[in-house]
Amino acid sequence: MSVHVVLIDAMNLIRRIYAVQERPFLLNNELADNTKQQVLHNTQQACNVALNNIIEQTSPTHALAVFDSLTPGWRYQLYPDYKAGRKKMPQHLADTLPSIQDGFMEQHVDSLISETDEADDLIATLAIKVALRGQKVTIISTDKCFLSLIGNHIHVYDYFNRRQLDESYTREKFDVAPGQLMELWTLTGDSTNKIPGVPGIGQVTAAALLNKYGSLQAILNASDIKASVRDKLAKHHDDITLAKKLLQLKQDIPLGFNLKDIRLPLAEFTESQ
C-alpha cells in the first residue's frame, strides 16, 4: 500500500465542533459558567468521534493534527491588523486543548504545535515535502487557503460536508486554477483575514485578468490593460506587495521529524525512509 498522509487543521476542526456544541446552551450570546464543563466535555467527545470518522473516511497510513502557535506569528508583526475583529477562542476552550490532544493521541494521532508559525504554514510545508516524494496528502480543513495547494498529490477534504474540494470546485467557485488563487486574493484582498487588496477590483475582475494574462506579474507588466485598472494597480502597489507576503504559505519550515514518526500503527504499506 502506498503512503497517504492526512494532515488535520486542528483548530479549524475543533472550533467548528465547539460552535455546534455551544449553540444550544447560549443565552444572549453568552455561555453560563455552570454549562461550560458540559459543553467542553461534549466538544472533546465530538472531536474524538470526528477523528475516528476522518481516519475511516480517508484510510491514511500517516496522520497528524496541526495546531496554531499560541502566540501571534510573523504575519501579525508584518501587519498588526491581520485577522482584526475575528472572534477569539474562548479561554475555557483553549485550556481544554491539551485534553483534546491527549484524546487524539489515544487514537495514535500526534499533535504538532509550533511556537512561532501558523498551522497553515506548517501544513503547507509538510504537504509539499510529502508531495515532492510523489506521495499522497489529504488536508482536512475548510480553510480556503489550502485550495491553492491542490494538485496531483495534494487533496483537500471538507469533513463537515463530506466532500473533496478539487480543481473543479476551485474553478467553479473562483473561476481560476488552484495555483492562481493566492494571486486572485492578492488583487481582491481577503476580508476573512482583514488583508487589504486593490480597492475596486473584485473577484470577477481579478479572475478575468488572471485568465487573460496568466499571472499577477504579467498583469502588472501588461501594456494593453484598461487605464482605470492600471491606475488602481499603480496606486495600490504597496497594498499588493503586502497582501502577497501575507497570503503566501511558507513551505520551508524546519519540522524536526519524518514520516515514520506519524505512522499509524495498523497501516500496512511499503515505505522508504
**HEC letters along the chain:** CCCEEEEEEHHHHHHHHHHHHHHHHEECCEECHHHHHHHHHHHHHHHHHHHHHHHHHHCCCEEEEEECCCCCCHHHHHCCCCCCCCCCCCHHHHHHHHHHHHHHHHCCCEEEECCCCCHHHHHHHHHHHHHCCCCEEEEECCCHHHHHHCCCCEEEEECCCCEEECHHHHHHHHCCCHHHHHHHHHHHCEHHHCECCCCCCCHHHHHHHHHHHCCHHHHHHCCCCCHHHHHHHHHCHHHHHHHHHHHCCCCCCCCCCCHHHHECCCCCCCCCC
Largest CA distance in the chain: 65
Q: Which domains does the chain have, with CATH numbers?
A: 4-170 (3.40.50.1010), 171-247 (1.10.150.20)
Pairing of strands 136-140, 26-27: unpaired
Pairing of strands 136-140, 154-158: parallel
> Per-residue pLDDT averaged across 112-141, rounded?
94
pLDDT digits (tens, 9 = 90+) for 151-164: 999 999 999 999 99
For residue 95, what pLDDT band results from cuts at 50, 70 and 90?
Answer: very high
pLDDT value at 271 more than 70: no
- Yes or no: say if 243 and 185 are a contact pair by the CB < 8 Å rule: yes
For residue 27, what pLDDT band results from cuts at 50, 70 and 90?
Answer: confident
Which letter, b or e, does each residue of 124-158 get, where b requires 16 or more Cβ atoms within 10 Å of its Cβ?
Answer: bbbbbbbbeeebbbbbbbbebbbbbbbeebbbbbe
What is the rounded distance in angstroms from the CA atom of residue 264 to the CA atom of residue 104? 12
Specify the length of the chain in residues: 273
pLDDT value at 273 more than 90: no
| Grid cell of 161 as nine digits | 460536508
pLDDT value at 72 more than 90: no
Cell 480543481 locates to 167
Higher pLDDT, 140 or 192: 140
Confidence at residue 267, expressed as pLDDT on a 0 to 100 scale:
57
Pairing of strands 154-158, 163-165: antiparallel
pLDDT digits (tens, 9 = 90+) for 204-248: 999 999 999 999 999 999 999 999 999 999 999 999 999 999 999
